[in-house]
Each structure stands twice: as C-alpha cells, then as structure tokens.
Amino acid sequence: MDQETSFDISGEFYNRALNSLAGGVNSNVRLTETPHPLFYERAEGSKITDVDGNTYIDYVLGQGPIIFGHSPKFILEAVAQASVSGQLFAGQHLLELEAAEAIKTLVPNAELVRFASSGTEAVEAAFRLARAYTNRNKIIKFEGQYHGWSDSVLFNTAALPGGTNSDGSIDPSPMTQGMAESAQTSLIILPWNDFEAVDSVFKQHSGEIAAVITEPIMCNTNCIMPKPGYLNHLKDSCDKNDSLLIFDEVITGFRVSAGGAQELFGITADLATFAKAAAGGYPVSILTGKREIMSMIGSGEVMHGGTLNANVMSMAATKAAMEHLSSTKIGTNQKLKDLGQTLMDGLKEINSRLELGMLIQGPGSVFAVSFTDGKEVFDYRTHVENSKTDKYSTFVSKMMQKGIRINSRGIWFVSEMHSFKDIDETLTAASEVLESMAS
C-alpha cells in the first residue's frame, strides 16, 4: 500500500466518538494509535482493513489474542453452533467442563481451573487466593510488568523508574490518579532479573510475603527474557519461604508454547493466569493452580464470581482453541515461532546493515523492537534509559503508511495465518522506512 494514505473517515468517526465515548475509545491503550485512533471494519487472516479502505498486515492482533489469525473459521463455527442452544445459563454446561479438561491436558499446573472474562480479573483472583492460602498480605511485583488495571497492582508499570531503597525494593508509583491509598502498602516492587533483590526482600520481610507475581517473559517491557536460572530462583525462593509463585501468562499463555511459559521453561508455578490467546478473540481469562490452593475457591473460603464467567460463546471458543493447539498436525506454536523468528532475523539484518542501534528480542511468537544503543537489556529502567521512543513512533507511522500495522509500544505479535510472503513484504517495507530514517 505505498500510497498517500488517507485516514479521513476514521478521523470523522473519531471526532464523532469524542461526543459519546470518553476519549473516543474504550481502552486507554488505543489512544496511542497514530495519527489518531483508527476505526476498523473487517479483519481476516493476517490482514485488517480500516474504514478508509486501507488494508494492513496486522502485527497488533488485538494486543495478542489473535494467534489463529482474524476470523478463524473453526472458532466462528464452534461459537455459532454452540450459541444457538443458549448463551448464559447461570448454571453449568458441558462446554465449560470440556474446555477445562482440555486446559488440564496442556497447562502444567492446571490441577484445577476457573474461568473469568479478563486478565485483570484472573490476576485479582490469584492475589486473593494467594493471600488466603498463605494468610499473608504482601505481594512482590516487578517494575515494568503489567498485570491489569486494578488498584491492587497498577504500580510501576509505565512510570519513570522510582527511587531504590536499601533492601533493593523500588518506591511504588501508581500509574493513574484515583487509586485506593491502601493499595501500595500491600506490594513490594522489585527490579526484574535481579537475584539479590529477591533474596534481600525475602530476608527483610520474612513470613510476610504471600506471593511473587511475574510475567515469565517481560512482554510488557521490550520482551525481556529471564536471565538463565532467574525463574528457578524465584520458584526456589518462594518454596523456601512458603510463598506462592504466580506466573502471569496473559501474553505468554498458549503462544510461546501450547503449555505456555511453564512448559517452555520447565517450571511449574503455584498459580497461573491466562487470557488473550485462550479463545481467539472471545473474552475469556483463566486461573489455573494446584489443587490444594484452588480448592479454597471450591470450598467457598475464597470468593470468586462473575455473571458472564464461562458463557457458552466463550467456552465454545476456548474448547475449539485448545483442541486446535493440541493438534500436532497443525503445529500452531511451531508456526508462530518460525514466522516470528524469520521476521526478527530479517529486522536484525536490516539493523546491522544500516547500523541503526535497534534492539530486537523475544521468543519469536512475540517479540519487541526498540531503538537503543543495541545492547541487550535485562530490566525496565535500563530499557527506559536507553530507549528512543520518538524514533520508534516515527517508524510506526511510516510503517502504517506502507500497510504494516505495528504496535506503538514496541511489541509485535504473529499469528499462524501470517505467511512467509507477509513477512517478506513487511521486511521490504521496514527496509525502505529504515533507510529513509537513516538518511
């Protein structure tokens, strides 16, 4: 699409939306789209088309859920077929049982399962359960990781790095106004990939820490990989201190491997949260965990509810997604990895040819691109200090002009419906854009 791209109709809709939707959008993340939030009218496979008729190869993919491509036939059919018999029973139905059984076969710690609708809710449930099970209050979370928008965890996610204390912890910094004052006293914020900070804080707060929550790959900050042994260190520290390890697999789940990061790294977390890729775009989140812990929900000691939990459409989509992932003949996860790796290798080649200092890293099925001095980063503050966000924004808008839709926050998702031709076209566009930026 190398044309003078027009976003005029989207612009008109957006101006109209400002009169009926707060900020013209329904998730603040969407405000970052350039030149302004766009309106889309259809999406199929690897492509998405906006209301101005511009079609893009899509690497935003609904911020992650679309691992089977847009409008996957097998999911649409499963949902259509199931929903004619009803949508919500406020009682049990077979599909939720079958979906849970399918998850148990894929996810290492899924001795028991609970469904909800958003990742934020699953994380809330995990926190409540961890506090109840351990009878403790404090939770360790890491700077630069995002676990949803609730008051209990929306700290040090996208803020400037906070001050560091003698025990290695970081001053809590809320991401928004309006948070409950008490929220931050329950959290300990640490830099990620720092072994000593974990040791020091466990020592200082002996007997107080209910859980450690971590993205097993720091997808929300430049797809930083864990240092060798780091996740094991978290697991051992939790085990030694009778604290729980929570893997937040909302991005990594079903994407980096059918069994998520637990399978990829061979580490079984006490609790894990999933959402995005669980149902190909339908609203589902999942809490999985060890039977002994999850049973506290089952017994009613810990409250977990939700009117729309496990509705028929979402469960039909989840069951179909799990069956699809289980099929080795289809090989979804290998495909995602191969496509992503080819794209990463191509971008790396352009970067070294043009000496741009880009950093391209991640496991493949998801990865991140930023402009830095090219050195690998291991934590949030090094990333913030080194990253040239203005340059990346220019890259994003020039790529949009060429029909390649990428996320303004640096994260790239691939789906199994992307083709190697899509990857070639993307690399050609990236090469032209980056050459123009280099000169």
Ligand X SMILES: Cc1ncc(COP(=O)(O)O)c(C=O)c1O
* Contact residues for ligand X, defined by CB under 6 A: 63, 118-120, 123, 146-148, 215, 220, 248, 250-251, 275
| Least spacing, CB of residue 431 vs ligand X, in Å | 30
Q: CA 97, CA 93: separation in Å to the nearest integer? A: 7
User: Which of 219/356 has CB closer to ligand X?
Assistant: 219
Q: How many CB atoms lie within 10 A of CB 434?
A: 20
| Least spacing, CB of residue 148 vs ligand X, in Å | 4
| Least spacing, CB of residue 175 vs ligand X, in Å | 13
Dihedral sign, Cα of residue 102, residue 103, residue 109, residue 112: negative
User: Which of 38/250 has CB closer to ligand X?
Assistant: 250
| Least spacing, CB of residue 121 vs ligand X, in Å | 7
| Least spacing, CB of residue 28 vs ligand X, in Å | 11
User: Which of 146/202 has CB closer to ligand X?
Assistant: 146
| Least spacing, CB of residue 67 vs ligand X, in Å | 14
CB 134 within 8 A of CB 262: no
Q: CA 191, CA 378: separation in Å to the nearest integer? A: 9
Which residues are catalytically annotated? 146, 248, 276
Tell me the residue number closest to ligand X, measured at CB. 119
User: Which of 299/307 has CB closer to ligand X?
Assistant: 307
Report in angstroms the alpha-carbon separations of 279 from 69, 99, 191, 276.
12, 10, 32, 7
User: Which of 332/407 has CB closer to ligand X?
Assistant: 407
User: Which of 116/433 has CB closer to ligand X?
Assistant: 116
CB-count burial class (<10 Å; 0-12, 13-18, 19+) for 203: exposed
User: What are 413's strand-pairing partners?
Assistant: 366
| Least spacing, CB of residue 280 vs ligand X, in Å | 14
Place of tokens 């340059």: 391
User: Which of 97/179 has CB closer to ligand X?
Assistant: 179
